[in-house]
Chain A
């Protein structure tokens, strides 16, 4: 099916199943421990050997010698694989550094060996006996000091490296009210609970991996490319994923090393990447330095907007596209955005939940708060005044839907924004300084080609198969709802099977496109099945009504079971998109409101309450969508208050590489969250009229927290995370 013109009324609009706040269909499996995660595929791959990964001990340089003698002789050891004995390996299209390093070392904890043994404990113990000598080389590990050597990156996911409209310099110089400020965001880790994990097994020249991967298709392609084998010989199975946040978009060392290990020992090998390696071995969200300049008229019209962002990555890597939202969020005739990418020898930077917008909005939405204050305007009203209904860089492109103003207004009313004292540092509750903050949220809506297979069996049961993944987002559930709605059956008549590369290729889980795009693919296949059913039963395709497990037309009714017959029916289809996303700018919007309390003695910030109002098209399942948004809000609080990978600039690595020292919010940090979804449909996005929502929830949260801290204390912090040491010098004196 091709989606080329805006959706009209279709079976999804019945909203008998879609749009309902249903429990997730895989919930019981997960709560009873029966959902097999990658490391737990005990039945699929019996009698595995265990791999333990050895990570490089330097940030950059070479291995001068490696002595495996003692390790090989250790009890239970079956094989040790290194770059020297692994055979020729290529590099995956989505990898920047090699997954198995040596002799050249590109970053700290780059895998340099995997020890395979009979038991996990034996592998771990022997891994400590691998003796490696290094020649360390001088690397660059400090973004601030190499920033000015940054180059214009090539065009990637986040659009062109630079854009300009009008004459920014002139307009900025002429603007009666100006803001010029620099903001920084640190390196951050996905820090999901389930580590990267894989079991690999070979049968002849055919490889099967049970792994934890968000993008089945990318994983298959990069495994085949790295090993130099045919894609057809790689099967990737990833039915359940314990969190990914972009950290599992790619083939990583666990999967490659398990495959190499299994080939060497001729039996299945399982590897869970050690927690202490996860942060430096895999990808992270890169740090940014962002300069924002805003010029406005005295009555608050933005006349000049510039946003420049610097980030770093290994040679061949990509920038953090932190300027994306600034191209779209506010009106203003003279505009400029630019990204620069410097070379750093830290581990590989890459996508983490809302790449670009998450750190970009952390900066932009403080800048907007600062500008509103300079203008003496309420920050909600200032944003509303500068709203735009068209892409401000290409005014001929309208937004498909843009209800940012309604998000802001609804939020202000529900949150009690009118109780906020615009003058900072005025509201006290005992020893606590109280403040409120607001930020807008924008995250683009991407639509991706996605295929599915749908089977109807003789009992009237529907089975959906697609290589889509569920990273905890609720894919199983919204896909089941889509199939049930389209085919007129109840949810218990639908089985959804995901995460297997033998299934039709889906869009995968990333960039908040998964829910809408994969369900749309399933919708396409279900519509094709409806056609097959009417054809077979001889019912009029145009009049047929699918409801209650039956198809009816012209006074005749046939049950789906009957229609299927003994052989059943099976169809496959792909949802593809025309150019509606070129003609229209498709984005999701929101407003975040946050109240904080800052301890006037210690500078500790504790969030009191949070509200997100989201306009994100049709909400396929308000329950799973809410979970996505509150999870993202929690992550936003982490980014605002505590998350930071500490760079050892001398030795070249992230020092706090475990969950004790890389702090993310705990329950006590998140007291009260509310989410409101505006009731909307976006017929330009997809037949489901839905959009992404999983990343919208994090965009802007950090700035809303920062603005609330400013409102509470009068201290403006522009460097995240806002830890107490950045506040205490400027808090009121203590007796």
Chain B
């Protein structure tokens, strides 16, 4: 770990401002991802801005009939919230499918969205990795890639975004609210929040330097059946090979987002029109441009089969 200085921010604007004053600064929330990466010197912030005291830990109704989730709301609290469980069940289920109870007690809404990939080469500082060290190459393309992405990939990087929560937020069309160092605020649709790797896999979101997430908002409830189906090699405490967040209506229409397959939660709205025709039809549209490796080619088939399970469950089968 590199030595760093530390401060506790007093307000969101002050936090964003401080980040601008200290090049290479990072916000720290639950610390469950950032601290691990600092110990391995994969992240090397010179300055840490602790945002835990910002009182962004409330869940409030919005005038539009949705919910505004503070950036510091812990995953455990969000999953347990009565309104979330009633109206946004897919989010609650995605959250409890992730990590462990202890981690969820610490993990925050903003931190979860910004957690970094679990590509094994990203974690091994001996190995080339464009995401960790831009321009050094990608070890995974011809290495062990069973866990990695099959769609939206580039030659520079085939990593996935590992969050479960983000997949549910994508299917719910959530938005991310931020404040910039100059004090202005903006709202970013979740669809635009994470980037594909392209030539710059080290840039994972559209956030600008010093930009602080203050909240995530959910539009008004969609109704329907909420399902989160996560598939993995062991029953618990593992990242998804493939996961599907779905909201399916009585008439068979609905929405589907897929985790574990891309650098961001993967959703193709046009593919959802195929839902009445079944899992195969949807998957063909959803993964039309898939470029899997030999190691993870099975994920294409797996998406179709998990979607089959989801649709069967929605029908009450």
| Partner of B233 from A642, A658, A731 at Cβ < 8 Å | A642
Flag if A655 contacts B144 (CB, 8 Å): yes
| Partner of A735 from B142, B231, B302, B312 at Cβ < 8 Å | B312
Q: Does A29 contact B (CB under 8 A)?
A: no
Flag if A125 contacts B142 (CB, 8 Å): no
Q: Does A669 contact B (CB under 8 A)?
A: yes
Closest A residue, CB atoms, query B278:
A735
Measured in the bound complex, the distance between the Cα atoms of B147 and A642 in whole Å is: 13
Most buried by A among B1, B126, B301: B126
Distance from A238 Cβ to chain B, minimum over Cβ atoms (Å): 28
Flag if B236 contacts A668 (CB, 8 Å): yes
Which stretch, A538-546, A644-652, A690-698, touches the partner chain B?
A644-652
In the bound complex, residues from chain B placing their C-beta under 8 Å from that of A648 are 139, 143-144
Flag if B231 contacts A667 (CB, 8 Å): no
In the bound complex, residues from chain B placing their C-beta under 8 Å from that of A128 are 41, 125
Flag if B306 contacts A602 (CB, 8 Å): yes
Measured in the bound complex, the distance between the Cα atoms of B120 and A406 in whole Å is: 47
Q: Does A485 contact B (CB under 8 A)?
A: no
| Partner of A728 from B127, B236, B305, B312 at Cβ < 8 Å | B305
Closest B residue, CB atoms, query A134:
B126
Q: Does B188 contact A (CB under 8 A)?
A: no
Q: Does B304 contact A (CB under 8 A)?
A: yes
In the bound complex, residues from chain B placing their C-beta under 8 Å from that of A57 are 126
| Partner of B146 from A125, A646, A729 at Cβ < 8 Å | A646
Flag if B234 contacts A641 (CB, 8 Å): yes
Measured in the bound complex, the distance between the Cα atoms of B144 and A641 in whole Å is: 18
Distance from A556 Cβ to chain B, minimum over Cβ atoms (Å): 63
Measured in the bound complex, the distance between the Cα atoms of B308 and A723 in whole Å is: 19
- A655-B120, A735-B278 given as contacts; is B236 within 8 A of A646 (CB)? no
Q: Does A599 contact B (CB under 8 A)?
A: yes
In the bound complex, residues from chain A placing their C-beta under 8 Å from that of B1 are 121, 124-125
Flag if A734 contacts B305 (CB, 8 Å): yes
Flag if A665 contacts B306 (CB, 8 Å): no
Q: Does B250 contact A (CB under 8 A)?
A: no
Distance from A66 Cβ to chain B, minimum over Cβ atoms (Å): 15
Q: Does A26 contact B (CB under 8 A)?
A: no
Q: Does A431 contact B (CB under 8 A)?
A: yes
Flag if B235 contacts A735 (CB, 8 Å): no
Flag if B308 contacts A656 (CB, 8 Å): no
Flag if A601 contacts B143 (CB, 8 Å): no
Measured in the bound complex, the distance between the Cα atoms of B230 and A599 in whole Å is: 12
Among A649-667, those with CB < 8 Å from B are 650-651, 655-658, 660-661, 663, 665-667
Q: Does A175 contact B (CB under 8 A)?
A: no
Among A475-525, those with CB < 8 Å from B are none
Flag if A602 contacts B238 (CB, 8 Å): no
Flag if B127 contacts A604 (CB, 8 Å): no
In the bound complex, residues from chain A placing their C-beta under 8 Å from that of B139 are 648, 651
Flag if A661 contacts B308 (CB, 8 Å): no
Q: Does A725 contact B (CB under 8 A)?
A: yes
Distance from A639 Cβ to chain B, minimum over Cβ atoms (Å): 13
Q: Does A530 contact B (CB under 8 A)?
A: no
Q: Does A606 contact B (CB under 8 A)?
A: yes
In the bound complex, residues from chain A placing their C-beta under 8 Å from that of B193 are none
Measured in the bound complex, the distance between the Cα atoms of B142 and A648 in whole Å is: 9
Measured in the bound complex, the distance between the Cα atoms of B238 and A666 in whole Å is: 10
Measured in the bound complex, the distance between the Cα atoms of B311 and A657 in whole Å is: 37
| Partner of A669 from B144, B146, B235, B308 at Cβ < 8 Å | B235
Distance from B60 Cβ to chain A, minimum over Cβ atoms (Å): 34
In the bound complex, residues from chain A placing their C-beta under 8 Å from that of B301 are 728-729
Number of interface residues of A (CB under 8 A): 42
Flag if A724 contacts B231 (CB, 8 Å): yes
Distance from A249 Cβ to chain B, minimum over Cβ atoms (Å): 27
Interface size class of B (residues with CB under 8 A): 35 or more
Closest A residue, CB atoms, query B308:
A734
Measured in the bound complex, the distance between the Cα atoms of B139 and A599 in whole Å is: 33
Flag if A735 contacts B279 (CB, 8 Å): yes
Distance from B216 Cβ to chain A, minimum over Cβ atoms (Å): 26
Measured in the bound complex, the distance between the Cα atoms of B41 and A723 in whole Å is: 33
- A601-B312, A661-B120, A724-B231 given as contacts; is B144 within 8 A of A734 (CB)? no
Taken residue by residue from 209 to 240, chain B's Cβ proximity to chain A (1 for < 8 Å, 0 otherwise) reads as 00000000000000000000001111111110
Closest A residue, CB atoms, query B298:
A725
Closest A residue, CB atoms, query B237:
A666
| Partner of A663 from B233, B306, B317 at Cβ < 8 Å | B233
Measured in the bound complex, the distance between the Cα atoms of B144 and A58 in whole Å is: 16
Flag if A724 contacts B302 (CB, 8 Å): yes
Flag if A661 contacts B236 (CB, 8 Å): no
- A663-B238, A665-B234, A666-B236 given as contacts; is B123 within 8 A of A658 (CB)? yes
Flag if A601 contacts B308 (CB, 8 Å): yes
Distance from A307 Cβ to chain B, minimum over Cβ atoms (Å): 29
Distance from B235 Cβ to chain A, minimum over Cβ atoms (Å): 4
Among A44-63, those with CB < 8 Å from B are 57-58
- A661-B118, A666-B235 given as contacts; is B309 within 8 A of A602 (CB)? yes
Taken residue by residue from 710 to 735, chain A's Cβ proximity to chain B (1 for < 8 Å, 0 otherwise) reads as 00000000000101110011010011
Q: Does B121 contact A (CB under 8 A)?
A: yes
Measured in the bound complex, the distance between the Cα atoms of B237 and A657 in whole Å is: 17
- A646-B144, A655-B144 given as contacts; is B312 within 8 A of A666 (CB)? no
Measured in the bound complex, the distance between the Cα atoms of B298 and A27 in whole Å is: 46
Flag if A125 contacts B2 (CB, 8 Å): yes
Distance from B290 Cβ to chain A, minimum over Cβ atoms (Å): 15
- A601-B306, A602-B302, A658-B123 given as contacts; is B236 within 8 A of A650 (CB)? no
Taken residue by residue from 119 to 161, chain B's Cβ proximity to chain A (1 for < 8 Å, 0 otherwise) reads as 0110111110000000000010011101100000000000000
Distance from A428 Cβ to chain B, minimum over Cβ atoms (Å): 12
In the bound complex, residues from chain A placing their C-beta under 8 Å from that of B147 are 661
Per CB-CB distance, the 6 closest pairs between chain A and chain B, nearest first, are A734-B308, A57-B126, A725-B298, A601-B309, A668-B235, A668-B236
**CB<8 Å pairs between A and B, sample of 21:** A58-B126, A431-B312, A602-B231, A604-B232, A641-B234, A642-B234, A648-B144, A656-B120, A665-B234, A666-B235, A668-B235, A668-B236, A669-B234, A723-B233, A724-B298, A724-B302, A728-B302, A728-B305, A734-B279, A734-B308, A735-B311
- Apart from A646-B120, A660-B118, A724-B241, what are 19 other A-B pairs with CB-CB below 8 Å? A121-B1, A125-B3, A431-B317, A599-B309, A601-B312, A604-B233, A641-B233, A646-B146, A648-B143, A655-B143, A655-B144, A658-B123, A661-B118, A661-B147, A728-B298, A728-B301, A729-B301, A734-B304, A734-B305
A contact residues vs B (CB 8 Å cutoff): 57-58, 121, 124-125, 128, 276, 431, 599, 601-604, 606, 641-642, 646-648, 650-651, 655-658, 660-661, 663, 665-669, 721, 723-725, 728-729, 731, 734-735
